[in-house]
A and B are shown apart, each in its own frame.
Chain A
């Protein structure tokens, strides 16, 4: 069985400040890891994914994440946030079957 824990349900950040959204996972098999973003009244958009190889993964909109196998973490980071980053962010894990999602982190950017 797989599971994902997103430790923060809400994260407020000042504009142009850095942000880290935390994600921990558990799985008995090798996994693929993802971060999705959901803007209001929209579906999910893939930000980035870790399948194999380099543990530092770069995605769209300036986001990056680091896969840490020993800590079973896949935290999402951005060095400088913008108002347009206001959205809900979901971490997900898959063994190439269904996606198992975390409960989401609502990122609010303060002007």
Chain B
């Protein structure tokens, strides 16, 4: 099976712009989660989508949003970019069972630089 793919791998934007990142999960996985990784704050959970619905949300401002399509692909959008949004954005996918933990598989990330 192909792994989790994220596009683009690198992005450079300027303050005030908006950006859309894309994540394609492992085939058959219906849950997609997004994480932000920065040197100062570490790895922080943004949100999780399952069957096109947001299932869980972290503590980020409303400028950060996401969505999931019927084929389970997910996008996250950041509007009005700030310098502090510079980070590695990681996507993870998993299947969701009912009786056991379902491992999350991570993509390589999108490195966003805000100038």
A residues at B contact (CB < 8 Å):
32, 36, 41-46, 49, 51, 90, 92, 94, 96-104
Residues of chain B contacted by A102 (CB below 8 angstroms): 42
Q: Do B108 and A42 have beta carbons less than 8 Å apart? A: yes
Question: Known contacts A32-B101, A43-B106, A49-B103: does B42 contact A104 (CB below 8 Å)?
Answer: yes
Q: Does B90 belong to the interface (CB within 8 Å)?
A: yes
The residue on B at minimum CB distance from A94 is B101
Q: Majority SS of interface residues in chain B?
A: strand
B33 in the interface, Cβ–Cβ < 8 Å? yes
User: Complex: how many Å from CA A98 to CA B4?
Assistant: 18
Partner of B43, one of A45, A46, A97, A101: A101
Whose C-beta in chain B lies nearest to the C-beta of A50?
A: B101
Looking at the assembled complex, report how far the CB atom of B26 sits from the nearest CB atom of chain A, in whole angstroms.
13
Listed A/B pairs (20) with beta-carbon separation below 8 Å:
A42-B108, A43-B4, A43-B108, A44-B106, A45-B106, A46-B103, A49-B103, A51-B101, A97-B56, A98-B33, A98-B56, A98-B58, A99-B33, A99-B35, A100-B45, A101-B42, A101-B43, A102-B42, A103-B42, A104-B43
Complex alpha-carbon distance, A4 and B42, angstroms: 12
Chain B interface residues toward A at CB < 8 A:
4, 33, 35, 42-45, 48, 56, 58, 90, 92, 100-109
Q: Determine whether the beta carbon of B45 is less than 8 Å from that of A43.
A: no
Most chain A Cβ neighbours within 10 Å, of B42, B43, B44, B105: B43
Q: How far is the CB of B56 from chain A (nearest CB, A)?
A: 6
Within 8 Å CB of A100, what residues of B? Answer: 45
Asked if B107 and A43 sit within 8 Å, CB to CB, the answer is: yes
CB < 8 Å neighbour of B90 from A44, A51, A104: A44
Query: What residue in chain A is nearest B10 (Cβ atoms)?
Result: A41
Can you name the residue of chain B whose Cβ is closest to the Cβ of A32?
A: B101
Q: Select from chain A the residue with minimum beta-carbon distance to B111.
A: A41
Contact residues in B for A45 (Cβ distance below 8 Å): 106
Contact A99–B104 (Cβ < 8 Å): yes
- Do A98 and B48 form a contact, CB below 8 Å, given A51-B100, A51-B101, A104-B42? yes
Question: What's the least CB distance linking B36 to chain A, in Å?
Answer: 11
